[in-house]
């Protein structure tokens, strides 16, 4: 993998900071969908457990940039095996999940460096496509990196 300045793979020691940064992301997104008043704190423990598990598996890549006394930024990539088709020769689809930078470290290129590292990893994993949901702040960067509007209309249903 090409090394991008300051970007490294996360370790088990980063889990608490990864949870902190993900919580910041949901606060920024706000609203009842991303931050329902009923959520409580249990999701943080569940997230920590899944992060610990995913750090040991090869279908996920968690990249971080160190800050002064914790993490400045993080980003998660996963690759899923979907079903091949004419639009997807091997059915391997990448997902970028929660690229987030601590407010004190924004506008320094950390998200861009993390995204470049993730895109390299997706290429190594032979993903044919990478999907993401962009925040309003993140959208210009993603478009600059070659992302465009998805052809599928996105729908969801809570279970």
Domains of the chain and CATH, by start: 7-144 (3.40.630.30)
Q: Which residues contact 33 (CB under 8 A, 6 or more apart)?
A: none
The string of DSSP codes covering 90-140 is S-EEEEEEEEEE-GGG-SSSHHHHHHHHHHHHHHHTT-SEEEE---TTTHH
| 3 state SS of 41 | coil
pLDDT at 123 over 80: yes
pLDDT at position 125: 96
Contact assessment for residue 47 and residue 14, using Cβ atoms and an 8 Å cutoff = no
Q: Which helix (H) or strand (E) holds 63?
A: strand 60-66
Mean pLDDT across 29-52:
75
Q: Residues 59-108: pLDDT tens digits? A: 999 999 999 889 999 999 999 999 999 989 999 999 999 899 999 999 99
> Structure tokens of 92?
């391997």
Q: Residues 138-151: pLDDT tens digits? A: 899 999 999 999 88
Total number of residues shown for the chain = 159
Predicted TM-score (pTM) of this structure: 0.88
Give the pLDDT band of residue 7 (cuts 50, 70, 90): very high
């Amino acid at each position: 993998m090409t090394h991008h300045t300051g970007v490294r793979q996360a370790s088990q020691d980063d889990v608490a900071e990864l949870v902190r940064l993900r919580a910041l992301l949901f606060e920024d997104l706000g609203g009842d969908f991303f931050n329902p008043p009923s959520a409580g704190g249990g999701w943080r423990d569940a997230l920590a457990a899944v992060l610990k598990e995913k750090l040991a598996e090869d279908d996920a890549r968690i990249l971080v940039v160190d800050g002064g006394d914790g993490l400045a930024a993080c980003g998660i990539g996963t690759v899923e095996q979907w079903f091949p088709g004419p639009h997807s020769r091997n059915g391997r689809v990448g997902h970028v999940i929660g690229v987030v930078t601590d407010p004190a470290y924004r506008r320094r290129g950390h998200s861009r460096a993390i995204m470049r590292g993730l895109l390299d990893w997706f290429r190594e994993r032979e993903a044919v496509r990478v999907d993401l949901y962009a925040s309003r702040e993140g959208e210009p960067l993603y478009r600059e990196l070659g992302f465009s509007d998805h052809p599928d209309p996105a729908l969801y249903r809570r279970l």
